[in-house]
Amino acid sequence: MSVLWPILSFFLMLIGVGFVIAAAIGVLRFRDALQRMHASTKAGTLGAILVLAGAMLGLADDAVPVGTMAILFMLLTVPVAAHLLGRAAYVSGAPMRMVLGRNALFGVLDRQAVPLEERTEYVAYAPRAKSLDSADVAPQALAAMSEVRLALIAPDISPIVTRSLTIRAANKVPMKAIAVVDEAFLDATGDVQGTRAKVRENVARAIEEMETLLPKRRSFFSLSYEEGDPMRLIPSSEDSGSLLVLPNKGWCNHGVDIATPMATGRPEGLQRLADHHAGSVLYLGCKPLVETPLIAVADDGGDAILQGLEWALSSGLWKSPTLLIVGHGKPARHSVFAALAKRLGADIVDKPSQSPSGSMLPKEATAADVLVTASLPRPKRTDWYGMFWHDSIAPGWTGEVLLVPPARKSG
């Protein structure tokens, strides 16, 4: 037995050091806060315990009490520390690139929409003439449309290119198509190079199809191809006049259906792109837009919906529209919208509606071709346990959605 203990001690310490090295590599390579926490607190703790156990076997009996106390201390404190670190990361809005599945904490813990690093960036101090109460500040009109910005997401790109060209022609503004390959998806497959080749092939076919839809004279058009974080590369975080046009489904894996064993769910983020865009966001419907659409306006009582609707009508997003005002959480301000419609040459349904509990559109508004709203239904997932996100607006609804930006205050 005197020979067995040193051998067992050696192997325990060797395995423990291996786990510690694996934990260190995980902390260095993982880009997600929760994944780093798992690497450090699970693999790191197991490795440290194995090293201590090996040392206890290899040393004299005096090392056993001290080693046992150290192991008990780690077992009692590390789970608590891991919980606190994970909770702090979640609440502070830390990016969670590798956590793509169901969010079990949604509605349980409040989470910041913007990471701590972005919220604490240096901003030059500029003293104001006087303190302004936000209630006394008049709403500021949105900037005129500056560009049509579309996300090129394969394989079905014809509807989004055609719709974007129509809007661009009405406003004589530049049009920019952005094709992004989601790096988090590539990493999650475990076969980065093989998956990248398949995704690039689909993107190349989409670009070829787009070329057939564009006019021969296209000085107004530009194309950008990137591989990285779609949340950073697709939206425009500063240009409030930029209109972002998105499909109603799909993501930056571009139709490549490959398992993602390195992640907790399927890649998705289409609805969350709007959180990072400064201007309005247009999600296409499931069918072509009719020539004279009925537009349901979800009136939540705020300034954003008024500013956003005025911007959309002034930009000619729809021809000969008819407005149907739907009170969303508050009574509809029909007279206010009637004056706006009259000024901008739109018709309006005489009788307003009120949204029921559990959906955004009442039964009488389900015939609407467009929904203009200041917020998207939650959870922000294209498919939620088999339910398409449009069904959260109204069961079976297939129209397009214009998400207006938050209200801007002058002064």
33 has a pLDDT exceeding 80:
no
Model confidence over 43-91: pLDDT tens digits? 888 999 999 998 888 886 778 888 889 989 988 888 888 888 878 877 7
Spell out where 203-312 has E strands. Answer: 221-228, 242-246, 281-283, 294-299
State how far the Cα of 409 lies from the Cα of 411, in Å rounded to an integer.
7
Least confident of 86-95, 141-150, 301-310: 86-95
Domains of the chain and any CATH numbers = 4-91 (no CATH), 140-284 (3.40.50.620), 289-411 (3.40.50.620)
Question: How high is the pLDDT of residue 115?
Answer: 62
State how far the Cα of 111 lies from the Cα of 113, in Å rounded to an integer.
6
Q: Is the peptide bond before 406 cis (omega within 30 degrees of 0)?
A: no
Give the CA distances from residue 52 to residues 43, 44, 71, 150, in Å, rounded to whole numbers and listed in that order.
14, 12, 8, 57
Question: How high is the pLDDT of residue 122?
Answer: 42
**Which residue's structure tokens are 């934990």?**
23
Least confident of 23-37, 176-190, 274-288, 309-323: 23-37
Average pLDDT over residues 157-183: 96
pTM of this structure = 0.67
Beta bridge partners of 246: 283
Helix (H) or strand (E) holding 176: strand 175-182
Model confidence over 147-163: pLDDT tens digits? 999 999 999 999 999 99
Average pLDDT over residues 113-137: 46
Predicted confidence band at 363 (pLDDT cuts at 50, 70, 90)?
very high
Q: Are 52 and 10 in contact (CB under 8 A)?
A: no
State how far the Cα of 194 lies from the Cα of 23, in Å rounded to an integer.
26
318 has a pLDDT exceeding 80:
yes
Query: How many Å separate Cα 258 from the centre of its chain?
Result: 21
More confident residue, 101 or 239: 239
- Phi and psi at residue 256, in whole multiples of 5°? -85, 110
Contacts of 50 (CB under 8 A, 6+ apart): 12, 13, 15, 16, 19
State how far the Cα of 71 lies from the Cα of 41, in Å rounded to an integer.
14
Tokens linked to 175: 């049009």
The DSSP secondary structure of 283-309, one letter per residue, reads E--SSPPPSS-EEEEEE-SSHHHHHHH
Model confidence over 214-238: pLDDT tens digits? 998 889 999 999 999 999 999 999 9
State how far the Cα of 288 lies from the Cα of 271, in Å rounded to an integer.
20
